[in-house]
Amino acid sequence: MTPRAFWWCCGIAIAIKLWLVGGHDLIGKYRIYDDFLFLELSQHILNGDWLGPLHYRTLIKGPGYPLFIAGSYWLGLPLLLAQQLLYVIACTTVVLALSAVVKSRAILYCAFLLLLFNPFSYFYPMVGALMRESVYNSFALMFFGALLGIWYRHHFSVMRGVFWALVAGMAYSMIWLTREEAIWSVPGLVLFALVFVPKWPWQRNSSWLFRLVLVAFPVCMSIGAVFGVMKLNERHYGTAVFIETKSDQFVTALGSLMNIREDGFVKGKIVGPKSERAAFRVSPTFASIEPHIKKRSRKRPNVFYNWTLRSAANDAGYYSDHENVQPALDFYSQMGREIIAACEAGEIQCFDRSPTLQPPLHLEHKKRFPAEFLGLLKRAVWFDEYNAFSPEYQSFADMGMLLTFDYVTGHSAVRKSKHFEAMQPDFDFRMQETKEGLMQAIGTAYQWFMPALVFIALLAHLISMRSVLRFESSASLPLFGLIVGGSITAVLVILTYVKVTLFDVDRPITVLYGLIILYAVISIVSLLPGSREHHLDS
């Protein structure tokens, strides 16, 4: 296959993918911690007012997704199309990086198709709603693709190395700005640095200092992005805080509450009733919002105590200054200090650990951990719970909110009623049904062959790593497979911790699927004759 034919084939595949996903509608939902919050924040960004007037939800999540929504609007791209184009760019990034080490364009094209038609890149309702996963998964795949590009293309020229480092830095910055659990990416980046920077047999064509600079690029860019957000928040809200729920003050308050162990283990509760009463007794600050806590507790499960605490603080007036978050932070800080002091004085029973947002891991949790970890791994490898059909989903918002969804996203949020459905032309209904049926069939095919492909990839990885460890081969692609595999494991460990301590992870863990496909591609390609990597004895 010639280069021109290869890119023509890729273009045709992209056109087919975009045609298929064009059958999905936008869902407008009034979910104050998710869809509507992102819509609201993106409106303020578009109005040039950063994140708008402060309220108790303004700083609970990173601004990455609202910035993407605003960017799509500025570019004149409908949001759902922009999200799919981002995923196409991520897949292209991986293939361009792999092309430095894989000679066969047929193999590259198969890898591109496998990534492009990942059924969780058009999983519904995720891709139809304003959910961060729609871009977060693409940035994660793009980040690892860019790391691969740094590895195999940096020695061609300084500019190529810098280009790939910039792509990695942009993707890594958005990972940190978009979701709060980006810590899963750190082990992979550290492992990448350990096998990329030192002068190993597979790194002979460049300076270790240059390689160190390239690894530092994504780290520095992500730190710079977070620092920039903090400075903007300081300018608009009086304090340099990134995500308020991860601030030292809020962590001190909620973490100290979760550290009280007056109840012992109580399933489904991170702050038991005895522990809560003990906190009211020893913390006058916390006791001052007791009526609001009790009111809000009736509306939410105990595992969402973080939102209960924030709602109660809002009810008590700590977010009444729309330009200053400091009163709320001072409240959380004082509450936490009082509880910690009571723990240290022995007035209440507490766990011997610093305040943290991670719930205590009881013995009952530890017993469940291995089985739950394997269960999540099975769900990921089997591509479980995939869905492409949209008819049963509809918007849930008043007309004014739906119009706002329309204006900001560039889509008409679906409005389902007998009157509207009667107005839908038959050809449009049949076309949507055809597209979604094709996507569902593709997803079913992945569910059939991905477990076998992952099993083959594991065997291939073990064989290739055996050669590397015996110094029979200088191939480094298997080492990159370790980096991706380690990152997949980190995500699973975090999700397992959440499942055993807080709540069941009922949504498909979509960030994993692109990484699993990438791992399978890298592991299998490392043994194929189309690889340019040479053996020491050849």
Report how far residue 108's alpha carbon sits from residue 476's, in angstroms, rounded to the nearest whole number.
18
Whole-number pLDDT of residue 266: 86
Ranking 136-150, 212-226, 255-269, 395-409 by mean pLDDT, the lowest is 395-409
pLDDT of 455 higher than 60: yes
- Per-residue pLDDT of 46-55, as tens digits, reads 999 999 999 9
Report how far residue 151's alpha carbon sits from residue 202's, in angstroms, rounded to the nearest whole number.
10
Do the domain assignments include residue 303? Answer: yes
CB neighbours of 175 closer than 8 A, spacing ≥ 6? 136, 139, 140, 143, 182, 185, 222
> In which band, very low, low, confident or very high, does the pLDDT at 8 lie, cut at 50, 70 and 90?
very high
Residues 207 and 284 in one domain: no
pLDDT of 30 higher than 60: yes
Residues 45 and 87 in one domain: yes
Residues 66 and 196 in one domain: yes
Q: Please state, in angstroms and as integers, the Cα–Cα distance from residue 396 to each residue in 32, 87, 129, 421, 454, following that order.
A: 12, 27, 11, 16, 39
Domain that holds residue 297: 261-350
Report how far residue 442's alpha carbon sits from residue 432's, in angstroms, rounded to the nearest whole number.
15
Residues 341 and 275 in one domain: yes
Report how far residue 165's alpha carbon sits from residue 361's, in angstroms, rounded to the nearest whole number.
38
Cis peptide before 125 (omega within 30 of 0): yes
pLDDT of 530 higher than 60: no
Report how far residue 230's alpha carbon sits from residue 512's, in angstroms, rounded to the nearest whole number.
29
Q: Which residues of 144-163 are buried (b: 16+ CB within 10 A; e: fewer)?
A: bbbbbbbbbbbbeeeebbbb
Q: How far apart are the first and last CA of the chain?
A: 27
Q: 3-state SS string over 367-402?
A: HHHHHHHHHHHHHHHCCCCCCCCCCCCCCECCHHHH
Whole-number pLDDT of residue 251: 97
Tell me which residue of 277, 352, 365, 399 sits closest to 30, measured CA to CA: 399
Query: Is there a contact between 287 and 385 (Cβ–Cβ < 8 Å)?
Result: no
Whole-number pLDDT of residue 464: 86
Ranking 234-238, 269-273, 507-511 by mean pLDDT, the lowest is 507-511
Residues 221 and 79 in one domain: yes
- Per-residue pLDDT of 363-384, as tens digits, reads 999 999 999 999 999 999 999 8
CA angle 225, 228, 230 (to 5 degrees): 115
Report how far residue 509's alpha carbon sits from residue 383's, in angstroms, rounded to the nearest whole number.
9
Whole-number pLDDT of residue 390: 82
- Looking at per-residue pLDDT, the higher value among 142 and 421 belongs to 142
Length of the chain in terms of residues written: 538
Residues 14 and 57 in one domain: yes
Whole-number pLDDT of residue 430: 86
Residues 321 and 429 in one domain: no
Residues 58 and 182 in one domain: yes
Whole-number pLDDT of residue 538: 32
Do the domain assignments include residue 531? Answer: no
Q: 396 has which bridge partners? A: 29
Domain endpoint, select from 306, 335, 350: 350
Residues 122 and 219 in one domain: yes
Domain endpoint, select from 334, 350, 366: 350
Average pLDDT rounded to a whole number, residues 299-315: 93
Report how far residue 514's alpha carbon sits from residue 141's, in angstroms, rounded to the nearest whole number.
6
The helix (run of H) or strand (run of E) holding residue 80 is helix 79-98
The pTM of the full predicted model, rounded to 2 decimals, is 0.93
Do the domain assignments include residue 182? Answer: yes
Whole-number pLDDT of residue 91: 97
- Per-residue pLDDT of 87-100, as tens digits, reads 999 999 999 999 98
For the record, the structure tokens of 213 come out as 């600079």
Whole-number pLDDT of residue 512: 92
What percent of the chain has pLDDT above 90?
69
Do the domain assignments include residue 491? Answer: yes
> In which band, very low, low, confident or very high, does the pLDDT at 536 lie, cut at 50, 70 and 90?
very low
Average pLDDT rounded to a whole number, residues 445-469: 91
Question: What rounded mean pLDDT belongs to the chain?
Answer: 90
Average pLDDT rounded to a whole number, residues 192-220: 86
Residues 390 and 429 in one domain: yes
Report how far residue 172's alpha carbon sits from residue 168's, in angstroms, rounded to the nearest whole number.
6
Whole-number pLDDT of residue 421: 58
Whole-number pLDDT of residue 416: 64
- Per-residue pLDDT of 493-521, as tens digits, reads 999 999 999 877 666 578 999 999 999 99
Whole-number pLDDT of residue 506: 62
> In which band, very low, low, confident or very high, does the pLDDT at 125 lie, cut at 50, 70 and 90?
confident
Domain endpoint, select from 309, 332, 350: 350
Q: Please state, in angstroms and as integers, the Cα–Cα distance from residue 22 to each residue in 83, 117, 202, 267, following that order.
A: 12, 14, 44, 44
pLDDT of 445 higher than 60: yes
Residues 175 and 120 in one domain: yes
Residues 231 and 269 in one domain: no
Do the domain assignments include residue 366? Answer: no
Q: How many domains does the chain have?
A: 2
Do the domain assignments include residue 98? Answer: yes
Do the domain assignments include residue 270? Answer: yes
> In which band, very low, low, confident or very high, does the pLDDT at 478 lie, cut at 50, 70 and 90?
confident
Do the domain assignments include residue 276? Answer: yes
Tell me which residue of 167, 96, 74, 88 sits closest to 122, measured CA to CA: 88
